[in-house]
């Protein structure tokens, strides 16, 4: 369904078509009107979410919802917006609340089969509370729905996550400050209700697509994780990892000639340096290779629809930049961004959170700005292949050396001086280039798998939309 021709910024609306409830431009956009028309032309009866629900509820607000009630382990999972994804509830980073707190918040209790929809932060993402969890609770930024028994909740989640549901979330959720939905607005979502076998088919198509996508992404991630190991093999460095010990001895001479902290003196870091020193290639400090280095811009997350592309820490992946979800700052913010712009072959390193992820800037990101949790450094021309340096820094030895340079007692980070101090092997440029070419072949395979995974998802989404609109016969 190509919506580009209906995505018009300037248009006329008859006064008779206006409603007192919503006077925002977004509510009357031609794209929304076109999609509503498609929904009303579909062969299945339309119902509101309120009509399909036995019960609708949201999570606690105010004093009933405090971060200090979160627990890393427990019996009652506390579902947050970040846990609700189109592919389902993300289980890897769940937080929990106590049974006592759960009993206090019993109104927002969720059980398997309940539909969860995000209403703030990330608007209108839907997932079904899974059978693998006995029960749980939700934050105030999520609405829970107990649907009628004849309705497949996975079908409704598929619909909400499709274009046919997302335009309604945007339309109903528009505010003067930030987009958000309330319980009443969620109930206004209009949904076609095909016979149960068709609902089940639509739900299964998307569930199968997410399974295939997950497998392909896992294969791509496996390749990415082993590319840097391959680089160590080509450098003929046989890395055997040494676990950090709580107790170890060092000489007074070593202690007086370097930093006092345990991280710097750790056996893991010393082992990495020992293996590096045994390398047949010359060893250089990164500082000897760096022409320019500085921190990113510290600016508020006041993003715009277009303007200056802005690289966040989440865009940094080992060895490459993922700009598929790039955000923008208005051109008026250019002066605030200062020198925080990149050129092709610059290297970016995360300096907080997941410290030490290194990516190389490619031509597609030329002129992008970058944030304060990153450090950019540019190598002297012909001093080293920046992709080779990135591959090495993302390897197990590189990670151990980065770990050694971290500072901070609570939240660890890395400084410009720490980056300059990191040791790297430096074979002849011809050898570096050859290693990069061989590693790039593997990375291309990983990229192909990622693209395939997204194509699988897009194909499935397009098909279920056709089925919902009656454009594909499944009888």
Q: DSSP letter string over 11-53?
A: ----GGG--SS---GGGG-HHHHHHHHHHHHSSS-EEEHHHHE
- Out of 169, 193, 217, pick the residue that ends a domain: 193
Q: Are residues 81 and 147 in the same domain?
A: yes
Q: Are residues 206 and 254 in the same domain?
A: no
In degrees rounded to 5, what are phi and psi of residue 327? -110, 175
Domain that holds residue 411: 238-278+282-426
Q: Which helix (H) or strand (E) holds 238?
A: none
Taking a C-beta distance cutoff of 8 angstroms, is the pair 375, 296 a contact? Answer: yes
Q: Are residues 415 and 355 in the same domain?
A: yes
**Neighbour count for residue 175 (Cβ, 10 Å):** 9
Among residues 154, 241, 275, 251, the alpha carbon closest in space to that of 205 is found at 154
Q: Which two tokens stand for residue 460?
A: 């499935």
In degrees rounded to 5, what are phi and psi of residue 8? -110, 135
- Beta strand 369-370 with 308-311 is parallel
| pLDDT value of position 1 | 58
The CATH number of the domain where 378 resides is what?
A: 3.90.220.20
Q: Which two tokens stand for residue 472?
A: 């594909």
**Chain centre to alpha carbon of residue 225:** 18
Q: Are residues 257 and 115 in the same domain?
A: no
In degrees rounded to 5, what are phi and psi of residue 309? -65, 140
| pLDDT value of position 72 | 84
* Spatial separation of the C-alpha atoms in residues 122 and 325, rounded to whole Å: 14
E strand spans, 217-331 = 282-285, 290-295, 308-311, 316-317, 320-321, 327-329
* Spatial separation of the C-alpha atoms in residues 309 and 303, rounded to whole Å: 10
| pLDDT value of position 225 | 77
Q: Are residues 404 and 461 in the same domain?
A: no
Q: Which helix (H) or strand (E) holds 405?
A: helix 396-405
* Spatial separation of the C-alpha atoms in residues 474 and 64, rounded to whole Å: 47
Q: Are residues 13 and 138 in the same domain?
A: yes
| Domain total in the chain | 3
Q: Are residues 214 and 356 in the same domain?
A: no
Taking a C-beta distance cutoff of 8 angstroms, is the pair 119, 143 a contact? Answer: yes
* Spatial separation of the C-alpha atoms in residues 338 and 255, rounded to whole Å: 40
Q: Which helix (H) or strand (E) holds 427?
A: none
* Spatial separation of the C-alpha atoms in residues 358 and 333, rounded to whole Å: 26
* Spatial separation of the C-alpha atoms in residues 420 and 406, rounded to whole Å: 12
Say if residue 161 is exposed, middle or buried (CB neighbours under 10 Å; 0-12, 13-18, 19+): buried
CA distances to 48, 232, 233, 274, 415 from 240, in Å = 60, 11, 12, 11, 27
CA distances to 20, 28, 124, 176, 262 from 23, in Å = 7, 8, 21, 11, 61
Taking a C-beta distance cutoff of 8 angstroms, is the pair 189, 48 a contact? Answer: yes
CB-based contacts of 32, cutoff 8 Å, min separation 6: 26, 167, 171
Taking a C-beta distance cutoff of 8 angstroms, is the pair 393, 271 a contact? Answer: no
Q: Are residues 65 and 203 in the same domain?
A: no
* Spatial separation of the C-alpha atoms in residues 425 and 429, rounded to whole Å: 11
CB-based contacts of 130, cutoff 8 Å, min separation 6: 88, 89, 91, 112
- Out of 161, 193, 225, pick the residue that ends a domain: 193
* Spatial separation of the C-alpha atoms in residues 144 and 114, rounded to whole Å: 6
- Out of 193, 216, 247, pick the residue that ends a domain: 193
Q: Are residues 256 and 384 in the same domain?
A: yes
* Spatial separation of the C-alpha atoms in residues 280 and 433, rounded to whole Å: 17
Rg (alpha carbons) of the chain, rounded to whole number: 26
* Spatial separation of the C-alpha atoms in residues 22 and 180, rounded to whole Å: 14
Taking a C-beta distance cutoff of 8 angstroms, is the pair 173, 123 a contact? Answer: yes
CA distances to 54, 153, 192, 199, 337 from 149, in Å = 9, 9, 16, 12, 54
Q: Are residues 358 and 402 in the same domain?
A: yes
Q: Are residues 133 and 262 in the same domain?
A: no
- How far apart, in Å, do the first and last CA atoms of the chain sit? 22
Exposure on the CB side of residue 27, measured as CA atoms within 13 A: 15
**Neighbour count for residue 445 (Cβ, 10 Å):** 14
What residues of the chain score a pLDDT lower than 50? 256
- Beta strand 115-118 with 142-147 is antiparallel
Q: Are residues 255 and 369 in the same domain?
A: yes
| pLDDT value of position 250 | 62
């Amino acid at each position: 369904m190509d919506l580009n021709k209906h995505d018009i910024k300037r248009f006329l609306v008859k006064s008779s078509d206006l409603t007192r409830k919503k006077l925002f431009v977004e509510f009357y956009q031609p794209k929304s009107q076109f999609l509503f028309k498609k929904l009303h032309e579909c062969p299945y009866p339309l119902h509101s979410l309120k009509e399909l629900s036995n019960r609708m509820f949201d999570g606690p607000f105010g004093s009933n919802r405090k971060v200090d009630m979160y627990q890393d382990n427990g019996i009652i999972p506390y579902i947050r917006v970040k846990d609700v994804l189109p592919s389902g509830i993300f289980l890897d980073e769940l937080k929990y609340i106590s049974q006592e707190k759960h009993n206090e918040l019993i109104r927002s209790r969720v059980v398997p089969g309940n539909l969860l929809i995000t209403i703030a932060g990330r608007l209108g993402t839907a997932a079904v509370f899974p059978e693998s969890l006995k029960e749980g609770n939700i934050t105030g930024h999520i609405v829970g729905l107990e649907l009628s028994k004849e309705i497949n909740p996975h079908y409704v989640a598929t619909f909400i996550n499709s274009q046919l549901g997302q335009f309604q979330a945007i339309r109903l959720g528009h505010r003067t400050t930030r987009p958000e939905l309330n319980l009443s607005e969620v109930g206004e979502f209009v949904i076609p209700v095909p016979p149960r076998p068709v609902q089940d088919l639509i739900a299964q198509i998307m569930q199968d697509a997410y399974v295939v996508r997950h497998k392909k992404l896992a294969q791509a991630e496996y390749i990415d994780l082993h590319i840097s190991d391959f680089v160590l093999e080509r450098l003929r460095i046989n890395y055997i990892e040494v676990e950090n010990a709580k107790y170890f001895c060092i000489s007074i001479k070593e202690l007086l000639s370097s930093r006092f902290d345990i991280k710097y003196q750790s056996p893991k870091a010393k082992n990495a340096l020992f293996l590096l020193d045994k390398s047949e290639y010359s060893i250089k400090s990164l500082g000897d290779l760096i022409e320019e280095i500085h921190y990113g811009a510290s600016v508020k997350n006041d993003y715009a629809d277009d303007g200056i592309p802005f690289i966040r820490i989440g865009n940094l992946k080992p060895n490459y930049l993922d700009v598929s979800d790039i955000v923008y700052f208005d051109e008026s913010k250019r002066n605030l961004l200062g020198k925080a712009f990149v050129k092709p072959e610059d290297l970016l390193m995360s300096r907080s959170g997941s410290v030490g992820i290194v990516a190389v800037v490619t031509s597609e990101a030329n002129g992008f700005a970058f944030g304060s949790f990153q450090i950019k450094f540019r190598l002297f021309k012909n001093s080293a292949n920046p992709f080779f340096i990135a591959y090495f820094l993302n390897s197990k030895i590189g990670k151990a050396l980065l770990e050694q340079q971290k500072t901070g007692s609570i939240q660890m980070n890395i400084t410009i001086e720490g980056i300059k101090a990191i040791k790297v092997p430096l074979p002849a440029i011809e050898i570096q280039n050859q290693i990069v070419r061989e590693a790039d072949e593997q990375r291309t395979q990983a990229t192909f798998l990622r693209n395939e995974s997204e194509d699988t998802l897009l194909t499935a989404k397009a098909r279920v939309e056709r089925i919902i609109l009656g454009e594909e016969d499944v009888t």
